[in-house]
Amino acid sequence: MRNFTMLAFLTMLLFSSCAVIRPGEAGVKQTLGKFGTEVATEGTVFFNPLTSKVIKESTQTNNIKLFLTLPSKEGLSVESEISILYRLERDKIPSVLQNLGRDYESIITSVFRSASSDVCAQFYAKDMHSGMRANIEAEIKTKMNENLKKQADGIELIAVLMKSIQLPPGLASSIERKLQAEQDALRMEFVLQQAKLEADRKIIDAEGERDAQKILSEGLTDEIIKIRSIEAFNRLSSSPNSKIIVTDGKTPMLIDTKED
């Protein structure tokens, strides 16, 4: 019985003195409150449970979601859903834990609140709802990086995403009216352009017809008209049908000589 108890104790001690590091994790040994410099990756880490423990942190990309009211340049409040994508640099996890502790996400959130207020106050509310949003996100990320590096190195910011933007009702309606007016103006410009093209086409057709008539009239001399008349009469005379042609006396006369 005593041997069984001793075996059970040793088994418990063995299992309590090892930690399993899974894929996407990294472990740092903390001995008497001090973090070690060695970072363990996938596998088993043994430690003295009486004086040490293994702190495991994710090295994958993490997402912090926030719902904030952001200020604008004109003093309006813009509601927005924010996503902050970040990950810990594996070799610098001891530095992050030493300087920021395990609650480093709250530090990231605080840094974001400060950076976003400073940056968004330089832009109009409508900019957050337009193509300027990407510029705002990039500037917030840059300012966050500067502030985070002052506190601890080892947090890599991947992206700051401003997702659902809710403008004040009055401003949203104003922007919608402006966009509608711009669309109407573009539509009218298209209609006018089409009308102008059609008018240009008719002018070109008319000029072409005029030029054709001019060329034709300049080429029809009296001699050419007589020649064309003679050719026409010749073609008519070759027909076996009876015919009577009345002329003004200046063109050749065609007499039908066919006997009945």
Average of per-residue pLDDT values in the chain: 78
Q: Burial code of 47-58, b = ≥16 C-beta within 10 A, e = fewer?
A: bebeebebbbbe
The pLDDT, as a whole number, for residue 125 is: 82
Nearest to 232 by CA among 249, 216, 252: 252
Could you tell me where in the chain the CATH 3.30.479.30 domains are found?
Answer: 62-167
pLDDT number for residue 13: 47
* 258 phi/psi in degrees, rounded to 5: -70, 130
In this predicted model, what pLDDT tens digit does every residue of 93-116 receive, in sequence order? 998 988 888 899 999 999 999 999
* Per-residue pLDDT band at 254 (split at 50, 70, 90): very low
pLDDT attached to residue 248: 58
pLDDT given for residue 10 in this prediction: 44
Q: 229 CB contacts (<8 Å, ≥6 apart)?
A: 251, 252
CB 125 within 8 A of CB 74: yes
Contact between 113 and 62 under an 8 Å Cβ cutoff? The reply is: no
> What fold characterizes domain 62-167?
Tetrahydropterin Synthase; Chain A (3.30.479)
**C-beta separation of 179 from 103 below 8 A:** no
Which token pair is 93?
Answer: 């996890």
pLDDT tens for each residue of 202-214: 888 887 777 767 7
Q: Answer yes or no: is pLDDT of 149 > 70.
A: yes
For residue 45, the surrounding DSSP H or E stretch is strand 43-46
pLDDT computed for residue 174 by the predictor: 61
With 90 as the cut, is the pLDDT of residue 139 above it? Answer: yes
Looking at mean pLDDT, say which of 127-141, 156-170, 245-259 comes out highest: 127-141
**Collapsed DSSP state (helix, strand, coil) of residue 49:** coil
Window from 29-33, 79-83, 98-102, 234-238 with minimum mean pLDDT? 234-238
Burial of 93 (0-12, 13-18, 19+ CB in 10 A): buried
